[in-house]
Amino acid sequence: MPPLEPTSPAAHVAGEVFRSALLAAAPAAATRSALGQSIDVHTTARTRRHWIVATGKAAPAMAQATAEFLAEHQLPLAGGLIVAERSERSERSERSERSERSERSEPALHPIVRHCVGDHPIPGPQSLACADALAALSDQVAPTDVVIALVSGGTSALIGAPVDGVRGEHLAALNALLLESGLPIRAMNAIRKRFARWGAGRLAAAFAPSAVHPIILSDVIGDDPADIASGPYSPDALRAADVELMLRETELARRIPLSLAAYLGAVRNGDRPETAKEGSPALAHVRAPIVIGNRAALEAAASAATAVGRTALLSKEPLAGEAEQAGRTFARAAWFAAAGSCMISGGETTVDLPLDHGLGGRNQQFALAAAIELHQLAQQALRDRSARGTPTPRVTILAAGTDGRDGPTDAAGAIIDERSWGRLVAAGLDPAMHVRRCDAYPALDRINALLRTGPTGTNLADIVVALRD
């Protein structure tokens, strides 16, 4: 993670605080802890077959930890399926992958656990194939078996396949519309789960009556299992008429494919079944989910800040709302914070893309807007006579996604400070225009402010850090 400037101590500290959050979000450690709470390891359990069903960006690491846990406790592993996004590893040959594991002393996952690569962030042909693979796996699971359901961010797209009566390209079109809509992830999932083959508890129903133990890494504010990954193992609180109302209120009703509207109407009229609700017999075999969310990462970040002598200010309210406004608000709060403090917040903002938009992500939009706000505050301080002779505050802000990807870019986010606006202008750029066009990526790249971590293998939403000096 390169800092904003190699000589900037504040940028270095912000990067270390973020690294600590990522370590706390490590999926393997979180999974092992959850397995100890959820899975019966007594002698009687050794007569039951166990299956690993891992979906999402953190699926490989979560599945690896589960296979090791089962082996340690002598619990039979019958098989399973890992559905993840394409990575460099998935493209390597089996021979080079085995060699790499050997060099790292990393045990290979059991060969009877299959690996499937889905499409992300828009579901496509590979996602359809992975959805079919899940159906085939469910046919192999016996009523007395145990299904360990590992869920992480990205699942909705990676296993994205339509319900009967909806075409695959129409589901993909809906996902694209939702990603551009600026809606919070909770609202997006409430809509798309309706049309997803394995959303709204349908995947859990496919494994009935086998015992299903969900372990979930949450990328959604509130950590409600029904909101995460389109709720594959959870009841759906909304009815078809509620979803129709949401589509009308967001003006998406006029833009979605007709097959989706027709499907909702059929459900509302009773011609097609409603989704499973709380207390439904179809979900009686599902154990209480264990959810690991953004808070654990934030607390680790706060500990790291304290360890280097900063006063950690951990936000009680989740980061939410439109990215530009959230970035400006956060920057203003950091400017007026006490010297030596480290503000930390987490959650997920949204971006409502204009028709003529550029390249970027919500964290880059947040950071660029924060840079503009910091510049305006600095200019105001210089004009204020009472501030003469008083050093201008120094504020450094990091905004990044814990999955290592911010929008359709190779960056996790960005690190900026109160001088970033000046560097952008000196480079011949108009920062305000880049914010209006949601084109933060090229602007921040020009001044070496992008934060590139590469894929982290986890996804616990976003984290923002502000250092006040």
Question: Helix axis angle, 9-24 relative to 294-307, nearest 10°?
Answer: 140
Q: Pull the structure tokens for residue 421.
A: 């606006």
Query: From CA 18, how far away is CA 413, in angstroms rounded?
Result: 11
Total-model pTM:
0.77
Paired tokens of 43: 């002698």
* pLDDT at site 94: 37
Helical packing angle, 185-192 and 168-181, nearest 10°? 160
Give the pLDDT of residue 388. 59
The predicted pLDDT at position 3 comes to 38
**CATH class entry, domain 9-20+294-468:** alpha beta
Instruction: Please measure the distance between the N-terminal and C-terminal CA atoms of the chain and give it in whole angstroms.
Output: 22
Burial class (CB in 10 A: 0-12, 13-18, 19+), 252: middle
Which residues make beta-bridge pairs with 314?
344
- Answer yes or no: are the C-beta atoms of 149 and 213 closer than 8 Å: yes
Q: Where are the beta strands (DSSP E) in 152-289?
A: 211-217
Which of these, 159, 107, 133, lies nearest to 51 by C-alpha position?
A: 133
pLDDT, position 385: 60
In whole angstroms, give the CA distance from residue 77 to residue 298.
Answer: 34
Burial of 29 (0-12, 13-18, 19+ CB in 10 A): middle
pLDDT for position 210: 97
Short-list 226, 167, 170, 172, CA closest to 202: 226
> Per-block average pLDDT, block size 10, for the chain (469 residues)?
56 94 88 91 84 95 95 95 75 39 46 93 93 97 97 93 92 88 85 95 97 93 90 96 94 91 95 96 95 90 95 92 96 96 95 92 98 94 68 92 93 96 96 96 96 88 95
The pLDDT of residue 221 is 80
H or E segment at 28? helix 27-38
Positive or negative, the CA dihedral 52, 461, 415, 358 is positive
CATH code of the region 25-292: 3.40.50.10180
Q: What is the DSSP string of 63-90?
A: HHHHHHHHHHTT--EEEEEEEEE--HHH
Cβ atoms within 10 Å, residue 68: 17
Closest alpha carbon to 465 in 376, 370, 377: 370
What pLDDT, on a 0 to 100 scale, did the predictor assign at position 265? Answer: 95
**Domain limits, the chain:** 9-20+294-468, 25-292
Are 226 and 234 in contact by the 8 Å Cβ rule? The answer is yes
